[in-house]
Amino acid sequence: MSHRVLIIGAGGVGRVVVHKCAQLPDVFGEIMLASRTKSKCDSIAAELKRPIQTAAVDADNVPELVKLLKSYKPEVVINVALPYQDLTIMDACLEAGVHYIDTANYEPRDVAKFEYHWQWAYQDKFKKAGLTALLGCGFDPGVTNVNPEINLREVTANGRYWQDGKWVETKPLEIKRSFPFPDGIGPKNIYCLYHEELESLTKHFDIRRARFWMTFGDAYIKHMEVLVNVGMTGIHPVKHKGVDIIPIEFLKTLLPEPGTLGADTKGKTCIGNWIEGIDKNGQPLRYYVYNICDHQECFKETNSQGVSYTTGVPAMIAARQLLTNPTEYRQPGVWNIEQLNPDPFMADLNAYGLPWLETWPTEPLPGE
Q: Please name which of 114, 104, 113 lies closest in space to residue 138, comparing C-alpha atoms.
A: 104
Asked if the model's pLDDT at residue 69 lies above 60, the reply is yes
Question: In this structure, is residue 20 part of a structural domain?
Answer: yes
Residues 132 and 150 in one domain: no
Residues 13 and 135 in one domain: yes
Mean pLDDT of 26-43: 97
Asked if the model's pLDDT at residue 146 lies above 70, the reply is no
φ and ψ of 164, to 5 deg: 50, 45
Residues 14 and 105 in one domain: yes
Q: Please name which of 136, 58, 128, 55 lies closest in space to residue 95, comparing C-alpha atoms.
A: 128
User: In degrees to the nearest 10, what's the CA dihedral of 167, 169, 170, 173?
Assistant: 60
φ and ψ of 202, to 5 deg: -75, -20
State how beta strands 186-193 and 209-210 pair: unpaired
Of 43-52, 194-203, 250-259, 282-291, the poorest mean pLDDT is in 250-259
Residues 216 and 139 in one domain: no
User: Burial level of 96, CB count in 10 A (0-12/13-18/19+)?
Assistant: buried
Question: In this structure, is residue 98 part of a structural domain?
Answer: yes
Asked if the model's pLDDT at residue 142 lies above 50, the reply is no
Question: In this structure, is residue 316 part of a structural domain?
Answer: yes
Residues 128 and 168 in one domain: no
Question: In this structure, is residue 287 part of a structural domain?
Answer: no
**Spatial distance between the Cα atoms of 276 and 342, rounded to a whole number of angstroms:** 19
CATH of the domain at 184: 3.30.360.10
Residues 8 and 132 in one domain: yes
pLDDT, position 149: 57
Residues 138 and 150 in one domain: no
Q: Which of 259, 285, 318 is the last residue of a domain?
A: 259
Residues 138 and 156 in one domain: no
pLDDT tens for 191-226 read: 999 988 999 999 999 999 999 999 988 888 888 888
Q: Please name which of 337, 336, 358, 355 lies closest in space to residue 347, comparing C-alpha atoms.
A: 355
Residue-range definition of the domain harbouring residue 56: 3-144+302-356
pLDDT, position 25: 97
- 1 vs 124, higher pLDDT: 124
pLDDT tens for 285-340 read: 999 999 999 999 999 999 999 989 999 999 999 999 999 999 999 999 999 999 99
User: In degrees to the nearest 10, what's the CA dihedral of 189, 191, 197, 200?
Assistant: 130
CATH of the domain at 27: 3.40.50.720
Mean pLDDT of 250-265: 78
Count structural domains, the chain.
2
Mean pLDDT of 49-76: 98
Sign of the Cα pseudo-torsion (46, 291, 219, 145, in order): positive
* Most distant pair of Cα atoms in the chain: their distance: 68
SS3 label, residue 269: strand
pLDDT tens for 93-135 read: 999 999 999 998 887 776 656 689 999 999 999 999 999 999 9
Question: In this structure, is residue 255 part of a structural domain?
Answer: yes
Identity at 268, one-letter amino acid code:
K
Mean pLDDT of 128-157: 71
Residues 9 and 85 in one domain: yes
Asked if the model's pLDDT at residue 89 lies above 60, the reply is yes
Q: In the structure, what pLDDT confidence band is assigned to residue 229 with cuts at 50, 70 and 90?
A: confident
Question: In this structure, is residue 281 part of a structural domain?
Answer: no
Residues 53 and 105 in one domain: yes
The percent of residues above 90 in pLDDT, for the chain, comes to 73
pLDDT, position 165: 96
Q: In the structure, what pLDDT confidence band is assigned to residue 342 with cuts at 50, 70 and 90?
A: very high
Q: Which of 228, 259, 290 is the last residue of a domain?
A: 259
Q: In the β-sheet with 284-294, what is the strand arrangement from edge to edge?
A: 268-278, 284-294, 356-359
Residues 115 and 18 in one domain: yes
pLDDT, position 155: 76
Asked if the model's pLDDT at residue 257 lies above 80, the reply is no
Q: Which of 205, 225, 259 is the last residue of a domain?
A: 259
What's the pTM?
Answer: 0.90
Question: In this structure, is residue 279 part of a structural domain?
Answer: no
Asked if the model's pLDDT at residue 151 lies above 70, the reply is no
pLDDT, position 263: 80
Question: In this structure, is residue 254 part of a structural domain?
Answer: yes
Residues 10 and 105 in one domain: yes
Mean pLDDT across the chain = 91
